[in-house]
Amino acid sequence: MAELYEPDPAGLAEVGRSPEMQAAMVGIATAAVSGIRAISPVKSGEYRAGFAVEPTTNIAGWKNEERAAARIVNTVPYASAVERKHRILSRISSIVESG
């Protein structure tokens, strides 16, 4: 007879905060930055070079628990203007979400 799966909420929460999960989130964000750089407009190259990945956490799940996450940032002062015009992050998020 097959065993039934019994979820372990504490164990799953631990996995969500683990260094391995943090590394996975940073890896996904780093791959996304490569894609962002490939489709970014280039005049001086500063915008393209201004992208970075920051490990962080967020609150998620039905219990609002802290989980590993990664944030993509751009440090050039005019990054928001480029995003409004070209929608780079919107375009790459569609690609990342689709796998």
- Structure confidence at residue 79 as a pLDDT band (50, 70, 90): very high
What mean pLDDT is predicted for residues 9-25? 94
Q: Is residue 58 part of a domain?
A: yes
What value does the mean pLDDT of the chain take? 92
Report pLDDT for 26.
97
Q: Is residue 12 part of a domain?
A: no
Q: What percent of the chain has pLDDT over 70?
A: 98
The domain in which residue 33 lies consists of 17-97
Q: Is residue 62 scored above 80 in pLDDT?
A: no
Report the predicted TM-score, pTM, of the whole model to 2 decimal places: 0.84
Report pLDDT for 63.
83
**Spatial distance between the Cα atoms of 46 and 44, rounded to a whole number of angstroms:** 5
Q: Is residue 4 part of a domain?
A: no
Q: Is residue 10 part of a domain?
A: no
Orientation angle between helical segments 9-17 and 19-39, nearest 10 degrees: 50
Q: Is residue 82 part of a domain?
A: yes
Q: How many separate domains does the chain show?
A: 1
Q: Is residue 11 part of a domain?
A: no
Q: Is residue 79 part of a domain?
A: yes
Q: Is residue 99 scored above 80 in pLDDT?
A: no
